[in-house]
Amino acid sequence: MNRIQQAFQKKGKDLLNIYFTAGYPTLDATVPLIQTLAAAGADLIEIGMPFSDPLADGPVIQQSSTAALANGMNMRVLFRQLQDIRQTVPDTPLLLMGYLNPVMQFGVENFCRQAAEAGVDGIILPDLPLDDYVNEYQEIFRRHNLKPVFLITPQTSEARIRRIDELTDSFLYLVSGPGTTGGQNTQSEGVQEAYFERIAAMNLRNPRLIGFGIGDKASFARACSYAEGAIIGSAFIRALEGAEDAPAAAKAFVSSVLH
Amino acid sequence: MATTSAFQPNARGYYGEFGGAFIPEMLYPNVEELREQYLTILADPDFQRDYQQLLRDFVGRPTPLFEAKRLSARYGTRIFLKREDLCHTGAHKVNNTVGQILLAQRLGKTRIIAETGAGQHGVATATVCALMGMECIVYMGKTDTERQRPNVERMRLLGAEVRPVTSGSQTLKDATNEAIRDWISNPVDTHYIIGSVVGPHPYPDLVARLQAIISEEIRKQLLEKVGRELPDYVVACVGGGSNAAGAFYHFLDEPSVKLIAVEAAGKGIKSGHSAATSVLGKPGIIHGSRTLLMQDEDGQITEPYSLSAGLDYPGIGPLHAFLGASGRARFISIEDEPALRAVAELSRLEGIIPALETAHALAALDQIGAGPEDIVVLNLSGRGDKDLDTYLKYAEQMH
């Protein structure tokens, strides 16, 4: 069993997954933020690998990515920062989230090896096609014991959801509605509810986390009533914006969601 | 519509190693719907009737194939200009938007989005949306809205909403990102009319097929004029590559026809201010397609430069990446300055003021190696009205 599965087994429900962009708000904030998030009660942590053209992201994550790149973040720096992370954060699942092009240029094998060496558990690459994953990446991921996470949207067909569930040994990332990260949900609560309940009724192998548009205690609690937990990204990054003490701001944010 | 074989994408949208559909799950159902239906819709007699009728009566096709005798004398070869500048709205872009609006209607879509750089594709999209009474939103980099003001006003006059994009470098690449994000947010009622042979499969093939009318006409017109269908050279400029794809399409499987793709070298290949993707690009993923793109060593997409707003795209369509890699097409890079000189030359020799994009193709004429017996077809992709400010500034500098 991997760390992701252990986390779900241990807690079962109300899991909080926090996303942040590596190298934001300052280049060296990555490790202190992971340590603070884990200590403050985040059950999983997604480390965003900044990309110049993040198609699935809204303005907040775009801006944090631009800032992180300007701060000097890149894959080599990130893996150097993460090399000792498991000494201070032994159990919290860590996932790398980003776009395919920087991973391709770094080399998929090289990327997976260094991620595994750092103690990373899962990889989220929203623009990696499912067929390409199966044909070209799955074997490399398996060899390095890295778990892929795939996105599911209200438009994803049942057959495709079942296929994604089969390929997954971690959790399913339920995109809450149409839109990029951090967007306001334009669909009615009823429509969203029907979607979450439809997925819940499918009796899938993997637990589910709901993401996109979750940002505070109320939206987190509501998401948790339909799934095993939820993912917060943009709202957390907004909380770091302009903070003089990023770890203190992170701690306060997690506390505001959980308590 | 005749098809060619060796240069068609495979079922997954690959031309050799280039192409595919690298899209987030949020776009998957849209792109899949398009992939499943586009060939059927394009082949449908009802679609073809409407498409051909609009090309004739609305766009003004066929566009003339004009023998440019004074230009021919200047370069010591026989040059024909395919007059896409005479299309309604002033460029080849409208061939694609006419086809895609008919496709959108058949897919039951009610809202149209588009990206635009120089504004030509935006105007062509706003035009067909006005014609069909459909809602139209055009994303345009804020920098481009400022340097291409008249096209912004044209789009607004046509009833489109122009949304200035302030993310990233605020140019075509970012406008495309923002259009894709809009599509993610509006997956059910919206069709995205991409303006070039870029983006996830099936867009590169869809746009190439809709622009293929250019080479279809060239073959017929050349047969009438010189008694043979095949020229020795076809020359076209390439940003994303839609006019080149259209001009090359029905010659791809005719190895005797030399295909010349002309990119913008900007201030020079080595200057750091260039858009010559075939030279400076490496394989990677941009806007859902695996192709050559300009990027740094970390895989971050870099900002291209060309004086021409229609050529400063950091990638090229996957078909063109494949044509280059396979040797089927030859790529030539032309800097700003010779392109501007070519504008003045064509204006004075033939009475035609070309678009700055097209001028790059014209400036390559002395490099292609054509002799007196050769027939060269150059795709005159657009007219130069939109570039007058740039031309005037250049003329002042020369005095």
Which option is the CATH number for B60-90+212-398: 3.40.640.10, 3.40.50.1100, 3.10.450.50, 3.90.180.10? 3.40.50.1100
Cα–Cα nearest to B32, from A196, A153, A137: A153
Give the per-residue pLDDT at B309: 84
Tokens of B278: 């075939």
Query: CA dist B273 to A205, B118, B140, Å?
Result: 52, 18, 21
pLDDT per residue as tens digits for the range B289-305: 999 999 999 999 998 99
Domains of chain B, residue spans: 22-56+93-207, 60-90+212-398
Q: Is the pLDDT of residue A187 over 80?
A: no
Domain B22-56+93-207 and domain B60-90+212-398, same fold? Reply is yes
Residues of A in contact with B30 (CB under 8 A): 155
Helix axes of B28-43 and B203-211: crossing angle, nearest 10 degrees: 30
Query: CA dist B229 to A199, B216, B217, B233, B251, Å?
Result: 58, 10, 10, 12, 10
Q: Helix-strand-coil percent breakdown of chain A, rounded to 5?
A: 50, 15, 35
Give the per-residue pLDDT at A185: 67
Burial class from Cβ neighbours inside 10 Å (0-12, 13-18, 19+) for residue B50 reads middle
Q: Is the pLDDT of residue B269 over 90?
A: yes
Give the per-residue pLDDT at B397: 86
pLDDT band (50, 70, 90) for residue B1: very low
pLDDT per residue as tens digits for the range B146-200: 888 899 999 999 999 999 999 888 889 999 999 999 999 998 999 999 999 999 9
Please indicate whether, in this complex, the C-beta atoms of A56 and B184 are within 8 angstroms of each other.
Answer: yes
Tokens of B242: 């839609």
| B165 interface with A at CB cutoff 8 Å | no
Rounded CA gap, B312 and B276, in Å?
A: 9
DSSP-derived secondary structure for B237-298 = E-SS-HHHHHHHGGGTT-TTSEEEEEEEEET-GGGT----HHHH-EEEEETTEEEEE-B-TT
For A153, the closest chain B residue by CA position comes to B26
Region of residue B84 (left: phi > 0; alpha: psi -120 to 50; beta: else): alpha
Q: Report how many helices (DSSP H) and strands (DSSP E) chain B contains, helices first.
A: 16, 14
Q: What is the mean pLDDT of chain B?
A: 96
Count Cβ atoms below 10 Å from residue B187 Cβ, excluding itself: 19
pLDDT per residue as tens digits for the range B44-99: 999 999 999 999 999 999 999 999 999 999 999 999 999 999 999 999 999 999 99
Give the per-residue pLDDT at A139: 98
Residues of A in contact with B187 (CB under 8 A): 153, 155, 178
Cα–Cα nearest to B288, from B24, B8, B11: B24
> What values do phi and psi take at B276, rounded to 5?
-85, 80
Rounded CA gap, B246 and B226, in Å?
A: 21
- Mutation test of the interface with chain B: which of A49, A51, A55, choosing the one with the most B Cβ atoms within 10 A? A55
Give the per-residue pLDDT at B170: 87
pLDDT band (50, 70, 90) for residue B315: very high
- Mean pLDDT computed over B24-43: 96
The reply to whether ipTM tops 0.90 is yes
Rounded CA gap, A250 and A239, in Å?
A: 7
* Secondary structure of residue B230 in the 3-state scheme: coil
- Mean pLDDT computed over B352-362: 97
Chain A: closest CA distance from residue B172 (Å): 12
- Mean pLDDT computed over B361-385: 97
Burial class from Cβ neighbours inside 10 Å (0-12, 13-18, 19+) for residue B398 reads exposed
pLDDT per residue as tens digits for the range A77-115: 999 999 999 999 999 999 999 999 999 999 999 999 999
B30: Cβ contacts below 8 Å, ≥ 6 apart? A155, B183, B187, B192
Instruction: Look up tokens 């345009």; give the residue.
Output: B140
CATH 3.20.20.70 for domain A3-258:
yes
pLDDT per residue as tens digits for the range B110-160: 999 999 998 999 999 999 999 999 999 999 999 899 888 899 999 999 999
Rounded CA gap, B346 and A159, in Å?
A: 58
Domains of chain A, residue spans: 3-258
Q: Is the pLDDT of residue B3 over 80?
A: no
- Mean pLDDT computed over B350-355: 98
One-letter amino acid identity for B46?
D
Asked which of A180-194, B146-160, B249-263 is least confident by mean pLDDT, the reply is A180-194
Give the per-residue pLDDT at B310: 85
- Mean pLDDT computed over B318-344: 98
Give the per-residue pLDDT at B2: 44
The answer to whether the beta carbons of residues B331 and B316 sit under 8 Å apart is no
A46 noted as active-site residue: yes
Please indicate whether, in this complex, the C-beta atoms of B185 and A103 are within 8 angstroms of each other.
Answer: no
Specify the CATH class of B22-56+93-207 in words: alpha beta
Give the per-residue pLDDT at B5: 66
DSSP-derived secondary structure for B309-377 = TTT--SB--HHHHHHHHTTSEEEEEEEHHHHHHHHHHHHHHHS--B-HHHHHHHHTGGGS---TT-EEE
* Secondary structure of residue B299 in the 3-state scheme: coil
- Mean pLDDT computed over B230-251: 98
